[in-house]
Structure 1
Amino acid sequence: MPLLRPLSFAIGMLLAGVVGQVLAAETASYAVDADVKVTSDLRTRGISDSLNRPGMKLSVEAAHESGLVGLVEISSVSKKQFLEGAGVGVTLAGGYRFGDPEGWHFGAGIATELFPGAKFEAPHGFDLANGTPADFRSTRYDSAFAVAEIGYGALEGRILNVISKTYRGADTGGVCGTMLALMADPTQALDCYARGDHGSRGSWLFDLDYKYGLSPTTTLNLHAGHQKIAHFKEADFSDYRIGVTHKRWGFEWNADWVITNTRVRELYLAQDGDTLRATDGNKVVVSVSRRF
């Protein structure tokens, strides 16, 4: 996707800026944290990226005293969901944070989510005269975002606006084509096609998180999220999570009850052999992570 090339370059420059300032100033305060997580189900915004199976994620975050921050994440994803891909998801992000961590604090940046090689082919139109799908084209799952953060103490809010052509493949082929293929009644799919050929640039993603310390080693985690997909109200959904994190033996042990409320569930089904599997089911997810 052409937009992602300059975006990835810009993020790379931000990451390089963090490292450059660290190396240039001997007295500068900085931190680089690495985190490895193994989870029973790798979920993003309440949707499984690992087809309801275990997954792994490596995260590296660099933060400079100036407020510059950079993030790199590499995770395992299902090739049955991210078709023709390498089974890997990569997130790159860079930005600036400022304010009082115990009071009001803010952040702004850009991010990109990449799934190397992953793409699918779907019809971007429907020929009413012949009653057949038409205009088959490929769509990638890669996405890019502008990000804004605002928080007060342990309460954190985040808003993402999609600046790439699509968000995780949500375009006329990905949304209307999926509904046409999987829904017994084609009415919704035909209504979707009737709105014209669109991507999902301009979509909004919202997150609200709160952490409450139950003890020096145990934290209660609360999350609510909503995604509003431009041009495709069928793909809108909300997700909620309540969980506990306990620190013991140098590891963080997590248990979360994940709830996902989708409007059209067919959009969150994945073909697994002869079986269609829902990736939006409510579920207890357990994980263990280690910081270095």
Structure 2
Amino acid sequence: MQRSLLLFALGAACAASASAEDTTKLAKPGEVQTATYALDTEIKLTTDQRNRGISDSLNKPGVQVSLQFAHESGVIGLVQLSSVSKKSYTGADGVNLLLGAGYRFGDPDAWHFGVGLATEFFPGAKFSAPHGIDLEAGVPTDFRTTRYDTSYAVLEIGWGALEGRALNVISRTYRGADTGGVCGQILAVSEDPTKAIECYARGDHDSRGSWLFDLGYKLPLGAATTLNLHAGLQKIRHFKEADFSDYAIGVTHTRWGFQWTAEWLTTRTKAREIFLVQDGDRLRAQDNNRLVLSVARKF
């Protein structure tokens, strides 16, 4: 599950980085060290493609393909392609492309750190929404187009299996969160326009400078089984309505070369209107609690 974009090239490549370091350490004095990096390809199938507890696939199955690189120097990178709903991301080609690069250092079993940059693209995805409202006439105004593409700066601090990460949004918006994307969405799906009017009253803003935080812990339950714990917090600048937290608990078991995961995800949102998507003649929620199953294979 793509629960957190923070996994882009720091958390997702941690194991690969450790593998590259361990391989070179095994070489004895005088021997040629041929393996100075690790390159892994992973294919994952999931019953629901989730990001920070929110469904990117509109509660439907998804697929994700990742190429992870880690050099013994600490340089890491990721290219990741994930399926997304064309209804959730208006006009999208049905995919999300994530590119990340960074540097990781420290002891994987003790204190370790990482810094990096990442950008996610939603090819073809964009929407038009009102960035203002005429209170006297009661009609929306200033329609503009916004894209979902987002860039992040990332900091990671960890101790052993405990991982803490923070992302800062350095692009103009976080996944389309601007006045049109937030206030306009509330106005479009709410019967009572009060919340939308309050949102518009704060003026026209983007969400650059937003913060996303994650804390994760992995506890071995045996040679092939791991307990996964996660907590996340999202603080969207200028739009308190879009703030939310997410939590997850799951188990991953390795068998026949595959990683099988069952995970329960729950999300606490402030304005659920933001996470509703028009699907035919009804609205579907992206932030509902859900048991998500996935299977992954690395090559």
TM-score by structure 2 length? 0.88
Q: How far apart, in 2, do the equivalents of 1:195 and 1:28 lie? A: 56
Q: How far apart, in 1, do the equivalents of 2:185 and 2:147 lie? A: 15
Q: How far apart, in 1, do the equivalents of 2:37 and 2:146 lie? A: 40
> 2:221 is paired with a residue of what secondary structure?
strand
Shift of 1:128: 1.6
1:143-292 residue pairs with structure 2 within 5 A?
143-292=150-299
1:123-162 residue pairs with structure 2 within 5 A?
123-162=130-169
Kindly provide the amino acid, as one letter, of the partner of residue 59 in structure 1: S
Residue 50 in structure 1 maps to residue 57 in structure 2:
yes
Kindly provide the amino acid, as one letter, of the partner of residue 276 in structure 1: L
Shift of 1:26: 7.3
Which position in structure 2 is the counterpart of 1:118?
A: 125
Q: How far apart, in 2, do the equivalents of 1:278 and 1:187 lie? A: 21
Q: How far apart, in 1, do the equivalents of 2:243 and 2:223 lie? A: 38
Q: How far apart, in 2, do the equivalents of 1:183 and 1:73 lie? A: 35
1:100-119 residue pairs with structure 2 within 5 A?
100-119=107-126
Which position in structure 1 is the counterpart of 2:77?
A: 70
Which position in structure 1 is the counterpart of 2:106?
A: 99
> Which consecutive residues of structure 2, in runs of 5 or more, have no partner in the other structure?
1-16, 18-31
> Could you give the per-residue CA deviations for residues 83-108 of structure 1, whole angstroms, max 9, x where no partner exists?
11100001100010000000000000
Q: In terms of mean alpha carbon deviation, does 25-34 or 92-101 score higher?
A: 25-34
**RMSD of Structure 2 on Structure 1 (CA):** 1.3
Q: How far apart, in 2, do the equivalents of 1:228 and 1:236 lie? A: 5
> 1:137 is paired with a residue of what secondary structure?
strand
Which position in structure 2 is the counterpart of 1:41?
A: 48
> 1:215 is paired with a residue of what secondary structure?
coil
Q: How many residues align?
A: 269
User: Sequence identity, in percent?
Assistant: 66
Q: How far apart, in 2, do the equivalents of 1:255 and 1:27 lie? A: 37
Q: How far apart, in 2, do the equivalents of 1:89 and 1:252 lie? A: 23
- Segments of 4+ moved more than 3 angstroms: 25-28
Shift of 1:248: 0.3
